[in-house]
Structure 1
Amino acid sequence: MKPLRCAVIGVGYLGKFHAQKYAKIPGCELVAVVDSRQDVADAVAQSLGCRAVTDYRELLGQVDAVSIVVPTQAHYAVCIEFLRAGVHVLVEKPMTTTLAQADELIALAAEKGLVLAVGHLERFNPAALALEPLLDDPRFIDSSRLAPFKPRATDVSVLLDLMIHDVDLILSLVDSEVESVDCSGARVLTNDIDIANARIRFANGCVANVTASRVSAKSERKMRVFQSQACHSLDFQARTLTTYRGAVDPMAAPENAIERHEQSFGEADPLYSEIVDFVDSIRQQRQPKVTGRAGRRALEAVQRITEATRLIS
């Protein structure tokens, strides 16, 4: 099989990890890494034995697939050039800054028969993957994603930085359209929203309560999904899935009315799995797990939440 020529555009904190994964995937050739900072590009390229480039346009016509890990505001401009050149694209979340831009990228990829994948990493967490076959009509979802403050990624609100991870996963779990949203949030250390709580109501009656903070003392990424006779509790950091189910006859022995089953998934590499899925979708000519349309749906939901946010002063 002919090697898939790959490159990573933007090799800062997250992009360098993308580059490392491509370098490990059989059948992939990491042609180059790109960063506007020459020293950053040189350091990553030297460690992985590929070219260092400061202008991504040099790679048009020289690669088959790219990861785009530049600041959000530049996603559209970089994506559209590679799609126009016939290159498959994996773009980090949020895929664009506007829905119109997302629609244009989706249409162009479809027109050219290209894969357009969006980097919603939590979809590849083994605990989340194990949850999917257990679900049957979720009725209530409660999620919390808390993180200590870091200057990185403060160019967008906590809604687009952190909450969008859980919103995307919730949208993939609930087979219904969003009916209404409301949200309260506050600025704490930046000029944008740093902590927020949103309530999403779906047309089928399901309700999701979503909290995100980037100004917390500790890191926490958890979700609970309630359905008839069961609650599924995910810890994304510990990679565990605990299921609580009602006993067949809870009144017979009230002390054992709830049965508990825990699954632990040990070490995992969701980013590697995400990039492998992207590469396989190209080779197999299929849709990736997180399509451009899924990325757009998450962006639309977070934009609705942003518009509905009442700032707490």
Structure 2
Amino acid sequence: MTRTPTANLRAAVLGLGMMGRHHARILQALPGVTFAGAVDPAGDRHDAVRDPALVFATLEQLLDSGPLDMAVVALPTEEHLPTALALADAGVGMLIEKPLAASTADAEQIIAAIHRRGLPAAVGHVERFNPSLLALREKLGEGLLGDVFLVATERVGPFPERIRDVGVVKDLATHDLDIVSWVAGAPIATVSAQTAHRTGRPHEDLVLVNGRLASDVPFNTIVDWLTPTKTRRTRVLGDRGMLVAETVTADLTFYENGKVTSDWSSSQALRGVSEGNATRYALARSEPIRSELEAFRDLVAGDLDAPVVTLAQGLAAVRSAEAVLESARRGETVRIPA
């Protein structure tokens, strides 16, 4: 449960694109927060900021306008490093949209700068705040599925014109690489991947990943910008059935294994599954990005138990993404160091 905020934190958004405009919309009405402004050299093309005087062309102009407690970095990935270093120098806590950085080396440099200043920081893996995935993880923790056999994700849809600097692995698959580790409670140990380039861009537009977690649970992920319909699905298969989270609609369904009867003797009968009852859970739905910002606000206000995605977790997603690209390039299974 989100606590009642006691601080009045000055907050800003850097970048007013697809994600930044939503951060700006929510921050302007978030309890415990005063909206200090937004930065975008292209201006407020989505009319996300109510007061035009709070739209700045540069970070320097924003910082000159008054002190900041927290900022959301919703810029192209290659701009994360210089922006995070500038915010760290200014003593500003930051929520950096995923991926944390364009490379492991950049991510480590960001983390070092933030730690040197002792600043609150988090990474914007917003799917962790999706009601269906939160409920799925809770059900797994309760042992609903028994032994987990497989975690599988699918994230496909048309190409988004907003993306210029990375391919599907770093833009989208970082969601899934984080999800499979988070819901199953174990880091990724190995990945084997294949990519495709079908739209004439320098970066991959399709990736297929097979892998194994450190807990010995296998996983697979498919991500592309080639499918004409949008699908966002996480499926966990276990001894007692299957949980399926549809994150676009925030639905979670449990498909129970049925009771198998057989006339064969116990020595002849094979253990198997059959279709049983299906339960679609009634979930309390809240906007994931709002829940993410509430958690980050609470962290900045001093709540060290706020459920944010940590810098270390963001770094793990970047490392996993690099391993996926390395595996596809080499045509080999890649082990990710613990």
TM-score normalised by the chain length of structure 1: 0.90
- Residue aligned with 2:226, SS: coil
Please give the per-residue CA displacement for 1:143-182, whole angstroms capped at 9, x wherever unaligned. Answer: 1101112221142111111111111111112333333211
Q: Give 2:173's match in structure 1, choosing from 155, 160, 163.
A: 163
Q: Which residue of 1 aligns with 2:303?
A: 285
1:240/1:2 Cα in 2 relative to 1: closer, same or farther (>3 Å)? closer
**CA shift for structure 1 position 70:** 0.8
**Separation (CA, whole Å) in 1 of partners of 2:110 and 2:307:** 15
Tell me what 2:289 maps to. 271
Distance change in 2, residues 1:255/1:33 (3 Å): closer
SS in structure 2 opposite 1:117?
strand
1:100–1:224 Cα change, 3 Å:
same
Out of 91, 94, 103, the residue aligned to residue 98 of structure 1 is 103
- How far does residue 90 in structure 1 lie from its aligned partner after superposition? 0.4
Partner residue, 1:243: 254
Q: Does 1:259 align with 2:262?
A: no
Unpaired runs of at least 5, structure 2: 1-5, 263-271, 332-338
Moved more, 205-214 or 48-57: 48-57
Task: Report the CA distance between 1:238 and its aligned residue.
Answer: 1.7
| Mapping 1:141-180, distance limit 5 Å | 141-180=151-190
Q: Take 1:48 and 1:187, find their aligned partners in 2: how far apart are those partners?
A: 42
Structure 1 Cα separation of the partners of residues 53 and 260 of structure 2 = 62
Q: What letter is aligned with 2:205?
A: D
Structure 2: how far apart are the matches of 1:38 and 1:214? 28
Indicate yes or no: 2:244 matched with 1:233: yes
1:103-252 superposed matches below 5 A: 103-135=108-140, 136=143, 138-189=148-199, 190-246=201-257, 250-251=260-261
Letter in 2 for 1:134: K
Query: Equivalent residue for 2:55?
Result: 52
Q: 2:206–2:223: 8 Å Cα contact kept in structure 1? A: yes
RMSD: 2.4
How far apart are residue 72 of structure 1 and its match?
A: 0.4
Q: Secondary structure at the match of 1:24?
A: coil
State which of 66, 69, 73 in structure 2 corresponds to 1:68.
Answer: 73
Given residue 297 of structure 1, which amino acid in structure 2 is its aligned partner?
Answer: A
Give the letter aligned to residue 27 of structure 1. G
8 Å CA contact 2:36–2:54 kept in 1: the answer is yes
Measure, in 1, the Cα distance between the counterparts of 2:242 and 2:90.
47
In 1, Cα distance between equivalents of 2:317 and 2:175: 8
**Alignment check: 8 A CA contact 2:121 2:311 kept:** yes
Letter of the 2:177 partner, please give it: V
How far apart, in 2, do the equivalents of 1:242 and 1:63 lie?
A: 43
Task: Tell me, in whole angstroms, the C-alpha distance in 2 between the residues paired with 1:66 and 1:8.
Answer: 6
| Change over 3 Å in CA distance of 1:146–1:39 after alignment to 2 | closer
Deviation, structure 1 residue 255:
11
Query: Any gaps of 5 or more consecutive residues in structure 1?
Result: none
Give the CA deviation at 1:241.
0.6
Q: Letter of the aligned partner of 2:293 in structure 1?
A: I
Q: Distance in 1 between matches of 2:321 and 2:255?
A: 30
2:69/2:300 contact within 8 Å kept: no
Displacement of 1:265 after TM fit?
Answer: 3.5
Residue 273 of structure 1: CA displacement?
A: 0.9
In the alignment, which residue of structure 1 is the partner of 2:268? Answer: none
TM-score, length of structure 2 as denominator length: 0.84
Which structure is higher in helix share? 1
2:17 corresponds to which residue? 12
Paired residues in the alignment total 308
Inter-partner Cα distance in structure 1 for 2:275 and 2:158: 38
In the alignment, residue 183 of structure 1 is paired with which amino acid?
A
Q: Is the 8 A contact 1:250 1:258 kept in 2?
A: no
Q: Which amino acid aligns with 1:244?
A: Y
Amino acid at match of 2:11: C
SS at match of 2:99: coil
Aligned equivalent of 1:309: 328
Q: Report the Cα distance in structure 1 between the residues aligned to 2:35 and 2:171, rounded to whole angstroms.
A: 28
Q: Does the CA-based 8 Å contact 2:136-2:183 persist in structure 1?
A: no
Task: Provide the C-alpha distance between the structure 1 equivalents of 2:211 and 2:19, rounded to a whole number of angstroms.
Answer: 29
Q: What is the CA-CA distance between 1:40 and the residue it aligns to?
A: 3.8
